[in-house]
Amino acid sequence: MRAAERSELRSHLFRLLPALFVVLAAGCTDSTAGRATPEPTSTTAEGTEAPTESTPDSDKLPTDGAPEVDDPIDTAKFQENPCLSLTSEQSADIFDVGAAGRQSGGPLGETCEWRNESTHSRVWIGFLDKDPRGLSAEYGANEDGRWAFFEPLPPIEGQPAVARGRLDDREIGICTVVVGASDEIAFETRVQLSQGNIGKMDPCAAAADVAGEAVKTIKAG
């Protein structure tokens, strides 16, 4: 091949190089276009993987011998404001602890307290929704020996219930009754009898009466 022909061939190849690079680049892009990209993982502030949902597995409830709640009731509004659990007529006329309750936060949920300053009687209602295991949590605590006394009660307005306490304070007029609103949500009613009724009334029966009125109010919405 003559020198002039070789020079013309090299010039022709140089003109083709830019087009060749475009083809190669397009080929690389096409080869990765269909590759799946992993979804980002939700993490906590500490950088560990966090679940997307934290709701309890209700299929496993009840546990520890707790009764099943056959007729769940909607307590969402009352969990936010437990003072709505008793009407003013119920708290003032039936239990004589005043028409207005006072709300406060508790370790397991919101609580409302009604009191009679003259007789020193008091009523509490609190929702235990920060431990969403309903009565299963109460029965489990009993299995662990955390309650000084623990007595299953007849259903209160159709809802299963127990009386229990870390201390047995019934002799001084105090008792707590816990009612299963659903398999996940329970609420407690605690009663402190007036000084004149200590030793004359059963505080657990009084707490069950308060719980019954609360269930009526909750079911009425």
103's tokens: 């709300």
pLDDT range class, residue 54, cuts 50, 70, 90? very low
Inter-residue contact 162 to 208 (CB < 8 Å): no
pLDDT for residue 58: 56
54 in a domain, yes or no? no
Reply yes or no on whether the pLDDT at 219 is more than 50. yes
pTM for the predicted model, two decimal places: 0.73
Give the mean model confidence (pLDDT) for residues 147-168: 97
* SS3 category, 116: strand
Give the mean model confidence (pLDDT) for residues 46-53: 31
pLDDT range class, residue 19, cuts 50, 70, 90? very low
Domain range for 142 is 61-220
80 in a domain, yes or no? yes
Q: What is the pLDDT of residues 165-190, one digit of tens each?
A: 999 999 999 999 999 999 999 999 99
13 in a domain, yes or no? no
Reply yes or no on whether the pLDDT at 25 is more than 90. no
7 in a domain, yes or no? no
pLDDT for residue 197: 95
Which amino acid is located at 204 in the chain? C
* SS3 category, 106: strand
Q: Rounded CA gap, 163 and 149, in Å? A: 8
Reply yes or no on whether the pLDDT at 42 is more than 80. no
pLDDT for residue 56: 53
Q: Rounded CA gap, 169 and 166, in Å? A: 9
User: Into how many domains does the chain fold?
Assistant: 1
pLDDT for residue 21: 37
Q: Rounded CA gap, 177 and 163, in Å? A: 4
pLDDT for residue 57: 57
Q: What is the pLDDT of residues 92-151, one digit of tens each?
A: 999 999 999 999 988 889 999 999 999 999 999 999 999 999 999 999 999 999 999 999
**Of 90, 204, 77, 91, which is closest to residue 129 (Cα–Cα)?**
77
pLDDT for residue 154: 98
17 in a domain, yes or no? no
Q: What is the CATH classification number for the domain harbouring 96?
A: 3.40.1000
The one-character DSSP state at 94 is: I
pLDDT for residue 161: 98
3 in a domain, yes or no? no
Distances (CA, A) of 136 to 59, 104, 140, 150: 13, 25, 6, 13
120 in a domain, yes or no? yes
46 in a domain, yes or no? no
Reply yes or no on whether the pLDDT at 206 is more than 50. yes
Q: What is the pLDDT of residues 55-103, one digit of tens each?
A: 455 579 999 999 999 999 999 999 999 999 999 999 999 999 999 999 9
